[in-house]
Structure 1
Amino acid sequence: MGSTTQPHSQALRRGRVSLQHHVYLITTCTQQRLPLLSSWPPARCVVKEMQALEQDGWVSSLSYVVMPDHLHWLFVLEYTELGAVVRRLKGRSARAINGYLNRRGPVWQPGYHDRALRGEEDLRSIARYIVANPLRAGLVDNIGQYPLWDAKWL
Structure 2
Amino acid sequence: MSSSKLRRGRISLIGHTYVLTTVCCGRRPWFDDPASAAIVMNALHDLSDRGYVSSLAWVVMPDHVHWMFELCNEPLCNVARRFKSSTGLALNRMHRRGGAFWQSGYHDHALRSDRSLRDHVMYILGNPVRAGITGKLGEYPHAWCKWPLDT
What is the TM-score of this pair, normalised by structure 1? 0.89
1:52 has 2:46 as partner? yes
Which residue number corresponds to residue 84 of structure 1?
Answer: 78
Shift of 1:78: 0.6
Coordinate RMSD, CA, aligned: 1.6
Residues 56, 119 of structure 1: alpha-carbon distance in 2 compared, 3 angstrom cutoff: same
Partners of 1:75 and 1:27 in 2: CA distance: 11
Deviation per CA, 1:15-34: give whole Å up to 9, x if none: 22110000001111011111
Which residue number corresponds to residue 21 of structure 1?
Answer: 15
> Is residue 65–residue 130 contact of structure 1 (8 Å, CA) maintained in 2?
yes
Partners of 2:103 and 2:38 in 1: CA distance: 19
Question: Could you tell me which amino acid in structure 2 is paired with residue 133 of structure 1?
Answer: N
Deviation per CA, 1:11-66: give whole Å up to 9, x if none: 53232211000000111101111111221111111111111111111000000000
Deviation per CA, 1:59-116: give whole Å up to 9, x if none: 0000000011110000000111101000000000011111221221111011000011
Task: Determine helix, strand or coil for the equivalent of 1:143.
Answer: coil
- 1:4-153 correspondence runs (5 A): 7=1, 9=3, 12-153=6-147
Partners of 1:9 and 1:27 in 2: CA distance: 14
Q: Which runs of 4+ in 1 moved over 4 A?
A: 7-11
> Is residue 23–residue 117 contact of structure 1 (8 Å, CA) maintained in 2?
yes
Partners of 1:89 and 1:130 in 2: CA distance: 18
Structure 1: segments with no counterpart, 5+ residues = 1-6
Residues 62, 33 of structure 1: alpha-carbon distance in 2 compared, 3 angstrom cutoff: same
> Is residue 94–residue 106 contact of structure 1 (8 Å, CA) maintained in 2?
yes
> Is residue 124–residue 153 contact of structure 1 (8 Å, CA) maintained in 2?
no
Structure 2: segments with no counterpart, 5+ residues = none
Shift of 1:121: 3.5
Partners of 1:144 and 1:20 in 2: CA distance: 30
Partners of 1:107 and 1:17 in 2: CA distance: 26
